[in-house]
Amino acid sequence: MPLPRYGVAAGTFHDFTRDPSHDFGHWYHGHLTLTTPEGPYHAALDVDSPDDNGVAYRVVDGLTTADIAAVRALPDGFHPLASTPASGALDYVRSPMLQDVTWLASLAALIRRLRLLLQRPAVGAPAFGPDLADRLAGLLPVRAFPWVPSDGDNALDVLQPYLLAASRIYVFGQRFDTGLGVHDVHLNQGDPYGSQWWDDNGTWQDGAVVCEHPTGSVVVWQIKFDTQVLTTDDAGHPR
């Protein structure tokens, strides 16, 4: 079933650390803590996997507070969000503010669908990482935000200055079962059939870190695993 505790934690910056070591065979995380009226709210940020599947990150800037009006109106703390566009939920594939220019987004979708049709990967194979569309996005003088391969630290190095400069931070993902915290702060759809995450696929339930700055500018930091596809059906499954 889609994520049952999806929502957003809003608050101000309290702390940001990293796992003490980045050893092969272990997940590597950033650890973000927000100040909220409920107490410190923790977020575990996956930025590298313990195998060769790969992780990619992406930063969408040039946004304003008008783009996050629904969640900006909420007080600090955690808020469940319905998996609909009106709630303020995020969807990497469908949220208008996260899309590249129309023609480039269409080209990216076409390339990814062709790859899926021509090269059906084994379950868990790293088939959907940064590709030709992302390389083009990095070269063209248009509104485009390419996916970048993560080695763990580079994704966190990009995020940290935005966190330190933020007047308010929003962490989208799934609330912990117990305690104050959010995980699944990444793409939560597009996992392949047969994978252990297939049943978690869903639309309008993606995780990300959103930083609002005193100037009114907004930046979105996104994470996805290379086993996930960005062309999905209405259930969030690959198509």
* Residue that wins the pLDDT comparison between 11 and 127: 11
61-89 in b/e burial notation, b at 16+ Cβ within 10 A?
eebeeebbeebbeeebbbbebebeeebbb
Rounded to the nearest angstrom, the gap between the alpha carbon of residue 98 and the centroid of all alpha carbons in its chain is 10
Q: Please report the DSSP string for 170-221 in residue order.
A: EEEEEE-SSSSEEE--S--S-PPTTSTTGGG--SS---EEEEE-TTSEEEEE
Angle at which helix 102-118 crosses helix 132-139, to 10 degrees, equals 160
**pLDDT tens digits along 187-211:** 999 999 989 999 999 999 999 999 9
Which is nearest to 28 in space by CA: 184, 152, 208? 152
Q: Are 55 and 225 in contact (CB under 8 A)?
A: yes
Predicted confidence at residue 74, as pLDDT, reads: 98
The encoded tokens of residue 12 equal 């101000």
The separation between the first and the last C-alpha atoms of the chain, rounded to the nearest angstrom, is: 18
At residue 43, the 3 state secondary structure works out as strand
Average of per-residue pLDDT across 53-72: 93
pLDDT band at 125 (very low <50, low <70, confident <90, very high): low
Share of the chain above pLDDT 90, in %: 64
**What is the model's pLDDT at position 65?**
97
**Alpha helices per DSSP H over the chain:** 69-72, 102-118, 132-139, 153-165
Examine the pLDDT at 151 and tell me if it is beyond 80: yes
Mean pLDDT of the chain: 87
The pLDDT of residue 25 is above 50: no
| pTM > 0.75 | yes
| Range name among 35-49, 66-80, 115-129, 184-198 with the lowest pLDDT average | 115-129
